[in-house]
Structure 1
Amino acid sequence: MNKVLGQVDKKGGRLYPWLIRGFQKALNDFDLHDMELQGYPYTWERGHGTDRWVEIRLDRALVSTSWSDIFKDAMLVDLKCSTSNHCPILLEPKTVMNVTRNRKLKFENAWLREPVCRQIVQDSWNRHQYASLYEKTSTCLEDVSARGHEFTENFKQRISHWRKVINSTKGSRNVEAVKRFQE
């Protein structure tokens, strides 16, 4: 943005408050605020070394509250430049890292009844046959965790199916259905 927000943004020259009021109202209407500039406060100059020398902070970064919440550690820095009457500014957005803890896999003994799970465990254990017990266990848990969806994704469907089978066999001695349930 290349505008003056207040008289404090200007050193020397005439005042022009009528421009400032309209600009401040627009910023308020859009919930924007000026980022603090690190370093020298003025980014533009004219008449350097004369009695008409004017310095103004024209260059700025306007951000919303939601943007500030995401980039809490962002910085706006002035970069020194001797070839122009404008000093470039650099916006360094730094996001705050949300650290999420890895959920530890809790192995369920019921998984061993699942052929896919049993195969994953056997393959992992055999693939690392010369590793220590700790290494075998760690890699086995990683493998089970990576492929766990293969044997857990349809638990609810299977439970619902077998509840129906059990309910349909109540009162009767349907041995075949009970055997299938126990498998």
Structure 2
Amino acid sequence: MSCVAILSEFASHPQAISFTVAEGSKNWVCTVVYANPQMDLRQQVWAHLWELGGRVTLPWLVLGDFNEILLSTECRGGRFSMARASQFLEVLNECNLLDMGAKGLRFTWYRNQRGVVLAKRLDRAVCNVAWQAMFPEAYVENLCRVYSDHYPLLLRREGSREKSQDRPFRFQAAWATHRDFEQIVREAWCRSTPTLANGL
């Protein structure tokens, strides 16, 4: 049985819109981004996300076209800017957002410039730990494009139907930065469960 989601605007910006999703007992914030292709104007959306990071107290999902990459492996052709990637990473870290990764195609944007193919992973979904805990099976697929030079993202919250019930435990390094990390692990370890993963 599916629930009806109620959306209400949380914040808006020329390069992003955020809304609160109320879906049964689950409440979370979704921000959809279209970062400006011009680097100097893109700074404005980084500042907006930074400000939002200080206000959002619910589980938070941010997705869309960031017009930036994090790693040199996320591009083919063209130049990789470590300074710009570091700035993008700093914004994600300050907002406590984790990259969700993606299945399917490696790049989400392609362009043929004078016979040279440029490809980058400009589009992605990131979320905070609370959103990941709310939807632990969620994943992203990079789909095939039709008309645009961008490939669309498909976010699936339920997880893959092919997955078995027994999922491997995955540790997120960001968990270790939580102020109560040691206490939570200690309490989980002391419970009468066979593994730490089950104790959490």
> Normalising by structure 2, what TM-score?
0.44
Instruction: From the two aligned structures, give the one with the greater helix fraction.
Output: 1
Instruction: From the two aligned structures, give the one with the greater strand fraction.
Output: 2
Q: Which has the larger radius of gyration?
A: 1
